[in-house]
Amino acid sequence: MKLRLSLMVVATFAILLSMSSCVKNYTCHCDIVYTGYPGLPDSSSQEYQVKDSKSGAKSKCEKESASYTNNGIKTVETCYIY
């Protein structure tokens, strides 16, 4: 009986350890470029943390990439996992 309980405890610990090791903090880096008129701000970048599996963090980060045009000013934001 004690052997079975010990095996259950070890198995539970191993499962929890394997599940938690997949979730990590990743840095999402976004480059922002403005074009269309002279005198616009220089390119800039932003970073933020994403806590997820690698594929989940990559997907969430890349969803932030976009392109906007407003009054002739084009803004392109490109995001990737750092």
| Token duo for residue 11 | 């198995």
The answer to whether 27 and 47 are in contact (CB under 8 A) is yes
Q: How far apart are alpha carbons 27 and 12 in whole angstroms?
A: 30
Higher pLDDT, 67 or 7: 67
pLDDT tens per residue across span 35-65: 998 999 999 999 999 999 889 999 999 999 9
pLDDT band at 4 (very low <50, low <70, confident <90, very high): confident
Q: Where do runs of H (alpha helix) occur along 1-82?
A: 2-21, 54-62
**What whole-number distance in Å separates Cα of residue 71 and Cα of residue 35?**
11
Query: Taking all residues of the chain, what is their mean pLDDT, rounded to a whole number?
Result: 88
Statement: residue 21 has pLDDT above 60: no
The pLDDT of residue 5: 82
Half-sphere exposure of residue 73, counting CA atoms within 13 Å on the CB side? 11
Note the pLDDT of residue 75: 96
Regarding pTM above 0.75, the answer is no
